[in-house]
Amino acid sequence: MSDQRPAAPEPPRSRLDTPLDREVGPRTAERLASLGLASVGDLLEHYPRRWTRRGDLTSFDGLREGEHVTVQATVVSASSRRMKQRRGTITEVVVADGDGRRIDLVFFNQRFREGQLVPGTVGFFSGKVSRRGRQLQLLQPDMLLQQGRHARGGLSLVPGPDEQAEVAEDFAGSLTPVYPASARAQTWHVAAAVRQVLDTLVVADVPDPVPDDLRERHGLLPRLEALRGLHRPADEAERDAATHSLRYAEAFVLQTGLLRARTRARLVPATRYERRPGDLLERFDAALPFTLTDGQRSVGEELQRELASGTPMQRLLQGDVGSGKTLVALRAMLAVVGAGGQAALLAPTEVLAAQHLRSLEQLLGPLGRAGTLDGDAEGTRVALLTGSMPAAARRRALLQIVTGEAGLVVGTHALLQQSVEFADLGLVVVDEQHRFGVEQRDALRSRGVAVHTLVMTATPIPRTVAMTVFGDLDTSVLDELPAGRQPISTHVVGLPERPGWLPRVWQRVREEVDAGRQAFVVCQRIGVDVDDEESVLAELENDLEPPGGRPPAAAVLDVLDALRAEPALAGLRVEVLHGRMTPEEKEAVMADVLAGDVHVLVATTVVEVGVDVPNASVMVVMDADRFGVSQLHQLRGRVGRGGHPALCLLVTGVPAPSEARERLDAVASSTDGFALARFDLRTRREGDVLGSAQSGARSSLRLLRVVDDGDVIAAARQDAAAVLDADPELQEHPVLLEAVEVALAGGRDAWLARA
Ligand code: ADP
Ligand code: MG
């Protein structure tokens, strides 16, 4: 029977996969789609942002212009007037929060609002925050009133401007969830849909990734119950129990995924690189002009054991700025090369790759010039491969790499292209991971070779973050700085209270230069070069950004002009370094900086990562308040590397006291990168801290807060390890397996699926 009808769409595998239009109707489904919610499961995992007690007013304190907000507020007054320029009326409704702060609700041609929003009415108001003068306002907000003329008993949805329907809503408990909303889907639309769905779900519809015994051991709620408690709690206790249960589940699924990835990667054997007496590394160590720190020595031994083990290394090396990670990496690389393999060092930028090449060549001396006249025949060669190399140089490098003539290869992501063939790649070192996308790391692994991998990060990562973001890697920490490091003193230069201090800053720079040192001045943006169309366009785009009325940040090109005209710096060579320069221009400037020919380098944060100019002793950060704490710590780490006492000046136009100034004071008062990273995590939004590494795992980090939930994460990791121990492929745990795959899909662990 050959029927020509198109195949029926596949039935959803479970209730959670059911498209929302089948559950809540096309109209609501369309609204929910504006929040990216397509299925029942999506909706249930759209967790409330907060809960409000019925009648409790929302503080207006944190409202920011441009944000879409939902507030619970009480009406103070309402009045209408004719518009001056046009026909029609404006109705202005003043609403207040519990502290008497006020905002305006503004409606056009809706006089009836006056009768509806009588003083004393309490309701939810939802819309985008805008500003007129100093007054914040919501234009044409949607609303849900609790008492008012149109209320029938409980709450009623008052039609918004684009809507005629009136939807009655009741509340199960005294706590009302407030959801992340959009202009199309208000929190009460979400609430109504969630209720509709939750009411008809049964336990079998919501399989639980957490195995029963773990749930019992930790006293957790079954998943459906937890979802009910989160979306429609009767009271705080119920909500908190639900939150705890779902948070644990999140941590557990994530840790299971990460540990499973880790185990899987270990199944593929890697080449053993064993040490021999008199090998390359031994010769290198003998020629090293300084002694290793204890940390460098012990981490080095750890790495060598791993390289010789036959199991692929997957290690994260953390160390504060200046702790000497590069040397640790180089020694591991030499162990590999000495045993007949090749090693690659990947840098996040061309500037850094070029610098690594220089510092490797310098550290290696004759050992890095095998086959040349003044080289050591027992040594090796270092090749550089970057994206922007001229074709001839590139061909030469590729040849050295494929023949194995170059034991060490330094490069950017260009090294990961399929066309780059190695004779025998044994170890890849990824420098400054936080700038190096997870995708790049994946690209390495998907080449099918079990290459030893060492990831280095200069941003100290608190343990729980490491466990979450790099949970598939083992961790080593370099926790001391090489002897002889000079202290860096850090000062906040607050221009609001000391407007005359900027010239003082340049005088200090002058003094350092006169003493033979060099200075960095870091700015947040590049600025406009009127001759360069691209730069003008880029700046225009930048300018659209801050509507808040803050003056634009100091720009590299403007500061360059100012400093070249600055009397205190007369006669000094001031140059710039930024992302719009060509690789050759950057390389040329960096070479002059290293040669000591440039006295003051004005740059963007391209100097943030890893730049090593031992003679630099002053770091001036303009608009320091616009940088993160860890970023400032990185910038500061660029000076004080050469045995001279160093100075870091954080210039800011933000008055104290303020949160921004507190952050700057924190940087000024501590040089402990780990402590600052913890501080940073507490004060910034998580996503900013985790950067791209987190974006892939976003879908799984909903309730989990890596700063606060260390205990949960640690417990979940232990539990996950035990489960995987007993059942490595999760054959007995199909629900968990699916949850793991969904949570990590497409993001940082896409390679999990490919493996
Ligand atoms: P990181 O990358 O960890 O910030 P680097 O590897 O750039 O630090 O090292 C900073 C500087 O310290 C480099 O100039 C390096 O040569 C030097 N260095 C590394 N280890 C030692 C040591 N044990 N003793 C003295 N100087 C060292
Ligand atoms: Mg470094």
The Å distance, Cα 296 to ligand 1 centre, comes to 10
C-alpha span between 106 and 92 (Å, rounded): 5
Q: How many CB atoms lie within 10 A of CB 39?
A: 20
Q: Give residue 300's identity as a one-letter amino acid code.
A: G
Atom of ligand 1 nearest to the CA of 323: 3
C-alpha span between 415 and 422 (Å, rounded): 10
User: Which residue's CA is the closest to the ligand 1 atom numbered 19?
Assistant: 324
Positions in the chain whose pLDDT score sits under 50: 1-3, 147-173, 435-438, 446, 542-549, 685-700, 746-755
- Could you say which ligand is closest to the alpha carbon of residue 485? 1
C-alpha span between 743 and 752 (Å, rounded): 11
Atom of ligand 1 nearest to the CA of 290: 24
User: Which residue's CA is the closest to the ligand 1 atom numbered 20?
Assistant: 324
User: What is the torsional sign of CA 52, 57, 63, 68?
Assistant: positive
User: Which residue's CA is the closest to the ligand 1 atom numbered 17?
Assistant: 324
- Among 713, 675, 328, 649, smallest CA distance to 506 is for 649
Task: Look up the pTM and report it.
Answer: 0.68
Helix 236-267 / helix 223-231 crossing angle, nearest 10 deg: 130
The DSSP line for 122-134 is: EEEEEEEEEEETT
Query: What pLDDT, on a 0 to 100 scale, did the predictor assign at position 71?
Result: 86
Query: What pLDDT, on a 0 to 100 scale, did the predictor assign at position 646?
Result: 93
Q: In testing the pocket of ligand 1, which one of 298, 299, 326 has its CB within 8 Å of the most ligand atoms?
A: 326
Atom of ligand 1 nearest to the CA of 296: 23
Atom of ligand 1 nearest to the CA of 612: 7
User: Which residue's CA is the closest to the ligand 1 atom numbered 4?
Assistant: 322
Q: Is 506 helix (H, G, I), strand (E, B) or coil?
A: helix
User: Which residue's CA is the closest to the ligand 1 atom numbered 24?
Assistant: 482
Atom of ligand 1 nearest to the CA of 359: 16
User: Which residue's CA is the closest to the ligand 1 atom numbered 9?
Assistant: 324
The H-or-E segment that residue 504 falls in is helix 501-514
Q: In testing the pocket of ligand 1, which one of 364, 612, 636, 671 has its CB within 8 Å of the most ligand atoms?
A: 612
The Å distance, Cα 515 to ligand 2 centre, comes to 26
User: Which residue's CA is the closest to the ligand 1 atom numbered 2?
Assistant: 325
Query: What pLDDT, on a 0 to 100 scale, did the predictor assign at position 95?
Result: 94
Interval 561-605: pLDDT, tens:
999 999 999 999 999 999 888 888 988 999 999 999 999 999 998
The Å distance, Cα 642 to ligand 1 centre, comes to 10
The Å distance, Cα 332 to ligand 1 centre, comes to 15
The Å distance, Cα 635 to ligand 2 centre, comes to 12
| Ligand 1 pocket residues where CB is under 6 Å | 290, 292-293, 296, 319, 321-327, 458, 482, 610, 612, 614, 641
The Å distance, Cα 479 to ligand 2 centre, comes to 14
User: Which residue's CA is the closest to the ligand 1 atom numbered 12?
Assistant: 324
Interval 100-111: pLDDT, tens:
899 999 998 888
Asked if the bond preceding 161 is cis, omega within 30° of 0, the reply is no
- Among 232, 212, 231, 230, smallest CA distance to 222 is for 212
The Å distance, Cα 482 to ligand 1 centre, comes to 7
